[in-house]
Amino acid sequence: MITMTLREQVSLIVFGSVILAICGWEITILARSLHRRSRGRSARSVLLSLPAIVIHSLVVLMFGCLLYAHFIEPRWIDVHAMTLHTPKLKTESFRIVQISDLHCDQEARNEDRAVEIINSLKPDLVVATGDYLNHEAGLPRLRQMLSRLEAPLGKFAVTGNFEVYHWPKLDALAGSGFRVLDRETVVVTKGDDALAITGMGYVPANAPREPIEGFADDRFDVFLFHTPDLVEDVSRCGVDLYLCGHTHGGQITLPWYGALITFSQFGKKYESGMHRVGDAVLYVNRGLGMEPRPAPQMRFFARPQIVVVDIRPQ
């Protein structure tokens, strides 16, 4: 079971309390104005006082943000590109496209657009880092989407907490062309250069586990896992690039504060984006989908994301 940190719980309580306070104040203003009108008195002094205007403005802004977060941002895909240089490659470059947290549901969202974007990027490899399905009705769409992705050096995936807890008997990626890795390392070559992809299926961060092996000092090693929770362990094992998702970047974030919740043992420390952890580069993908209902079907300041990593000789 994935739980929230104390800070996340406090953040949610404070955020919810502020929203309720604004709405409550607005209701109070409207009730007072209706009361005055019912007694034949003008309501202008109540409705148009400076505090009332501030509350009206906040309510309008809040509902505008809700409309944007529901109708616009969840379908506005961000393509984030980054380049890593390494002495472990001699002449060839590798392009990896990472997708995560597709959460395919009953209705279509970003699946077709994501395929267009990814294939236009012409990746060597496509990797997927878990949480593929919200509802069984989305399974055909998920498989069709993944099968249409083109990557000459291979397509690799790991499971997320949804595969473990919600769909333990379902092979969601069957027929998609993706190879699901679980404590496996695959070495892909291009010319005289090689790159290794190691993947591990989802396990809770605090679960007993064997040491992760398969990394080599003389080879560029990519590690796939669903959450950022193992990064401070594997960064000491020779991993060069750690790709994950899970946090959705908070899915709903606040300006100057960021994610309210991440469901990571590190809380906000690795909520999204690139981080250097020891000798490793960590990238936390915000994902393409959203948590299933009853979670809010919204994204706010956490656009759905596709990540492109170019690994080049130094």
**pLDDT tens-digit series, residues 218-245:** 999 999 999 999 999 999 999 999 999 9
d(CA 157, CA 69): 29
Q: State residue 1's pLDDT score.
A: 58
124 three-class SS: coil
Domain membership of residue 53 as a residue range = 6-71
For residue 1, tell me if it sits in a domain. Answer: no
Res 214: pLDDT:
82
CA distance 305 to 301: 12
Same domain, 16 and 101: no
Q: Would you say residue 124 lies in a domain?
A: yes
Q: Is the pLDDT of residue 262 over 90?
A: yes
pLDDT, residue 5, reads: 87
- Domain match, 186 and 60 both: no
Encoding tokens for residue 178? 């993706």
| Dihedral sign (CA 104, 105, 109, 112) | positive
Helix (H, G, I), strand (E, B) or coil at 127: strand
Is residue 150 domain-shared with residue 103, that is, in the same domain? yes
Of 71, 99, 120, which marks where a domain is finished?
Answer: 71
Q: What share of the chain is helix, strand, coil (3-state, %, to 5)?
A: 30, 25, 45
Number of domains in the chain: 2
Question: Which residues touch 120 (CB under 8 Å, ≥6 apart)?
Answer: none
Q: 82 and 65 in one domain?
A: no
Whether residues 30 and 129 share a domain: the answer is no
Q: Domain check: are 214 and 276 in the same one?
A: yes
SS3 (DSSP) at 165: helix
As a whole number of angstroms, the distance between CA 180 and CA 62 comes to 42
pTM of the full structure:
0.94
Which CATH number do you get for residue 186?
3.60.21.10
The strand pair at 220-224 and 193-199 is best described as: parallel
Q: What is the mean pLDDT of residues 96-125?
A: 97
Residues 187 and 107 occupy one common structural domain: yes
What is the H or E stretch that residue 280 is in? strand 280-284
The whole-chain average pLDDT of the chain stands at 95
pLDDT of 210? 80
Instruction: Please give the Cα distance from 290 to 106 (Å, whole number).
Output: 12
When computed from its CA atoms, the radius of gyration of the chain, rounded to whole angstroms, is 23
- The string of pLDDT tens digits covering residues 38-76 is 988 888 889 999 999 999 999 999 999 999 999 999 999
Nearest to 94, CA basis, from 314, 305, 313: 313
Q: Measure the N-to-C terminal CA separation of the chain; round to a whole number of Å.
A: 42
pLDDT band at 188, cuts 50/70/90?
very high
Residue 208 above 80 pLDDT? no
For residues 274 and 84, what is the distance between their CA atoms, to the nearest angstrom? 12
What is the structure's pLDDT at 156? 98
- Of 15, 42, 71, the one marking the end of a domain is 71
Q: Verify that 199 and 234 share a domain, yes or no.
A: yes
Q: Among 71, 96, 116, give the residue marking a domain's end.
A: 71
259 pLDDT band, cuts 50/70/90, is very high
- Looking at the structure, tell me whether residues 111 and 157 fall in a common domain: yes
Q: Quick one: average pLDDT of 105-113?
A: 96
